[in-house]
Amino acid sequence: AQSVAQPEDQVNVAEGNPLTVKCTYSVSGNPYLFWYVQYPNRGLQFLLKYITGDNLVKGSYGFEAEFNKSQTSFHLKTPSALVSDSALYFCAVRDTGAGSYQLTFGKGTKLSVIP
């Protein structure tokens, strides 16, 4: 069965500092990995995805993520955090070895960027 872990419930970072939001996964086949962001009382917005190819994926709003197969990780990063980045971030995985197209989400990491 596929699963995703986001080990930090909350991350606090000062504005302008780099930030990392961690994600690890478990799949039987190859993973397709996704990051989403959610603002209060809103739906999720897609940030970026890893399907194949270059391990460093660039996405919306200046975010990027690095796929590391040996560590089964897909951490989200930005070099300089903005106050407007404060939101709830979800990592998700789809297992190509599974029979369905289900996307499994982590429990989310709340990011607070302090001015």
Partner 1 sequence: DGGITQSPKYLFRKEGQNVTLSCEQNLNHDAMYWYRQDPGQGLRLIYYSQIVNDFQKGDIAEGYSVSREKKESFPLTVTSAQKNPTAFYLCASSMTGHTGELFFGEGSRLTVL
- What CA–CA distances, in Å, run from 93 to 29, 33, 37, 63, 104? 11, 5, 15, 18, 5
Closer CB to partner 1, 74 or 108, in the complex: 108
Q: What is the CA radius of gyration of the chain?
A: 14
- How many Å separate Cα 64 from the centre of its chain? 9
Closer CB to partner 1, 99 or 115, in the complex: 99
Sites of contact with partner 1 (CB under 8 A): 9, 32, 34, 36, 41-46, 49, 51, 90, 94, 96, 100-108
Closer CB to partner 1, 15 or 32, in the complex: 32
Closer CB to partner 1, 35 or 113, in the complex: 35
- How many Å separate Cα 89 from the centre of its chain? 6
CB of 90 to partner 1, least distance (A): 7
Residue 113 structure tokens: 């960027």
CB of 71 to partner 1, least distance (A): 21
CB of 17 to partner 1, least distance (A): 26
CB of 44 to partner 1, least distance (A): 4
- What CA–CA distances, in Å, run from 34 to 16, 20, 38, 49? 25, 15, 13, 4
